[in-house]
């Protein structure tokens, strides 16, 4: 295994759109075909990306997450935790809270409510991060509503030239997903944004500003299934997809 990449799982949000389920359980702990979604992230990071150290950013129902995963030894990784006391600052703040653990390493960030199945996401760590400051998975989709719930991507071959969080009118059929790789220097730039007085910031808008400033942001072509667990319907869709895939593999 290699420890050249730090894994980061922001899991601080309260999951308002996934109520009533999130009244009793954090959405990152939704059990999908027998396994909490955060555990699925750990599996991908450990087995596909060869990441051995992961930071989980806690907030809403954080104690339940920490009680379940402990120090990570039962899951074959080293887990550390940090508490987000300022959820009003946006999820980019959760990303920034992992900065003290980075120690000059690249980082792979996977939001707790992003569900992946039979994907090539493990190859994301092999993208050229000497050339690109940030790399996002992208995938063409038929349903424009999915892009409106996430973010749109405009690209020029491997380079992303525009990102828009929750676009009203997506410019194409490319869906952006919030599991991404970053160079360590990006944490410094993110911290500078908050030091300059930003009170709320999502990482997509932050990265689009980097693009406008001349930074290179890469597009990783993802295959496989992806669902953002942002409401009851999406949770049920993830359950159906996971069970169907398992049954097909068993037959």
Q: Are the C-beta atoms of 163 and 208 separated by less than 8 Å?
A: yes
CA 135, distance to chain mean position in Å, is: 12
Give the per-residue pLDDT at 2.
Answer: 45
Q: In this prediction, what percent of the chain has a pLDDT beyond 70?
A: 94
- Tell me: the pLDDT tens digits for 96-124? 999 999 999 999 999 999 999 999 999 99
pLDDT at 18 over 50: no
Give the per-residue pLDDT at 20.
Answer: 53
Give the per-residue pLDDT at 62.
Answer: 84
Output 187-190 pairs: Cβ under 8 A, ≥24 positions apart: 187/95, 187/96, 187/98, 187/99, 187/102, 187/107, 190/92, 190/95, 190/96, 190/99
- Tell me: the pLDDT tens digits for 190-217? 999 999 988 889 999 999 999 999 999 9
Residue 245 gets the label, from left (phi > 0), alpha (psi -120 to 50) or beta, of alpha
Go through the domains of the chain in sequence order and give each one's CATH number. 5-250 (3.90.550.10)
Mean pLDDT of 44-66: 94
Mean pLDDT of 230-238: 88
Tell me the whole-structure pTM to 2 decimals.
0.93
Q: Which of 149, 161, 143, 136 is nearest to 214 (CA)?
A: 161
pLDDT at 248 over 80: yes
């Amino acid at each position: 295994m290699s420890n050249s990449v730090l894994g980061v799982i922001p899991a601080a949000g309260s999951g308002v759109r996934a109520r009533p389920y999130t009244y009793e359980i954090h959405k990152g702990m939704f059990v999908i075909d027998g396994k909490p979604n955060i555990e699925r992230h750990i599996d991908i990071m450990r087995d596909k990306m060869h990441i051995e150290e992961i930071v989980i950013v806690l907030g809403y129902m954080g104690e339940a997450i920490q009680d379940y995963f402990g120090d990570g030894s039962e899951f074959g990784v080293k887990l550390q935790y940090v508490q987000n006391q300022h959820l009003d600052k946006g999820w980019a703040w959760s990303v920034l809270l992992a900065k003290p653990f980075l120690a000059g390493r690249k980082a792979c960030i996977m939001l707790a409510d992003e569900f992946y199945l039979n994907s090539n996401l493990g190859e994301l760590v092999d993208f050229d991060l000497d050339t690109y400051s940030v790399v996002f998975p992208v995938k063409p989709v038929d349903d424009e509503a999915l892009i409106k719930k996430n973010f749109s991507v405009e690209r020029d071959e491997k380079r992303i030239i525009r990102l828009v969080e929750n676009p009203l009118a997506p410019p194409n059929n490319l869906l952006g997903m919030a599991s991404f790789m970053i160079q360590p220097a990006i944490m410094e730039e993110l911290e500078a944004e908050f030091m300059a007085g930003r009170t709320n910031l999502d990482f997509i808008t932050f990265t689009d500003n980097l693009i406008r400033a001349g930074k290179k942001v890469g597009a990783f072509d993802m295959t496989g299934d992806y669902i953002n667990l942002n409401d009851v319907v999406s949770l049920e869709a993830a359950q159906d997809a996971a069970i169907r895939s398992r049954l097909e593999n068993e037959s």
